[in-house]
Amino acid sequence: MANGATQAVENATRLSEIGFPEFTAKLITDTFNAITSSYLNQTAQYSGVVQAVSQTLQDYINNTADDISADEIGAFLLGIGGLNDDALNFLLGDSTAAASLNTTEAAAINNAVALPPAAGLRTAPASSGNLTNTKKQTISQAIARRVANNKYDLLQTMVRQGAHRKQASVTLRVAAFKSLAASG
């Protein structure tokens, strides 16, 4: 304990060497700048999200479906379930061997990629029979549109939650101000 006290006294006698006012001013300035920069970055990102969801669903899908990765398409395809191994491997690009879909499998794909009317395109991409590269491409594009639709829904939910949080924050501030005004 005595060592700690001795160390503190020694450090206190050296404050003039440290340049304490300059150090403190720089610390406060750098902290303020970091907080401001972070806030501006968050505001820019939120603005981008709001801009994205201000598009129509059809426009959003058209503008983002090409950005959906093969991994996202593959994960969606695996989530459909019930596809025969040959068809699944062909659609995932893991095989070039002949593959086909039966009517149940085609219906499962079509149901999984179905879009709401606001999305525009309402065609069923899968049909029973032999799979070709053209069918594979059509199914992949439909999956990409469905994934884009899901992302749009998620972005809308995030914006709504942000708006609710903002509304709650404003309501709390108004209530606190009223409380202070009533007591003062």
Give the burial class of 178: count Cβ atoms within 10 A of its Cβ; 0-12 exposed, 13-18 middle, 19 or more buried.
exposed
Give 157's pLDDT tier (boundaries 50, 70, 90).
Answer: confident
CA distance 151 to 142: 14
pLDDT > 80? residue 177: no
pLDDT of residue 37: 92
Of the listed ranges 87-96, 121-130, 138-147, 157-166, the least confidently predicted one is 157-166
Over residues 141-150, the pLDDT tens digits come to: 999 999 999 9
Give the burial class of 30: count Cβ atoms within 10 A of its Cβ; 0-12 exposed, 13-18 middle, 19 or more buried.
exposed
pLDDT of residue 91: 93
Over residues 68-118, the pLDDT tens digits come to: 999 999 999 999 989 999 999 999 988 778 899 999 999 999 999 999 888
User: For the chain, what is the total number of helices (H) and then of strands (E)?
Assistant: 8, 2
Please tell me whether residue 82 adopts helix, strand or coil conformation.
coil
Helices 103-113 and 133-183 meet at what angle, rounded to 10?
30
- Residues 159-169 as b/e (b if ≥16 CB within 10 A, e otherwise) read beeeeeeeeee
Of the listed ranges 48-57, 72-81, 83-92, 125-134, the least confidently predicted one is 48-57
Q: What is the pTM of this model?
A: 0.66
Give 126's pLDDT tier (boundaries 50, 70, 90).
Answer: very high
pLDDT of residue 24: 83
Of the listed ranges 23-27, 118-122, 176-180, the least confidently predicted one is 176-180
pLDDT > 80? residue 178: no
Phi-psi region of 69 (alpha: psi -120 to 50; beta: other; left: phi over 0): beta
Over residues 8-41, the pLDDT tens digits come to: 777 777 767 777 788 888 888 999 999 999 989 9
CB half-sphere exposure, 15, CA atoms < 13 A: 7
Domain boundaries, the chain: 19-54, 57-156
Average pLDDT, the chain: 84
Alpha-carbon torsion (81, 86, 92, 98), positive or negative: negative
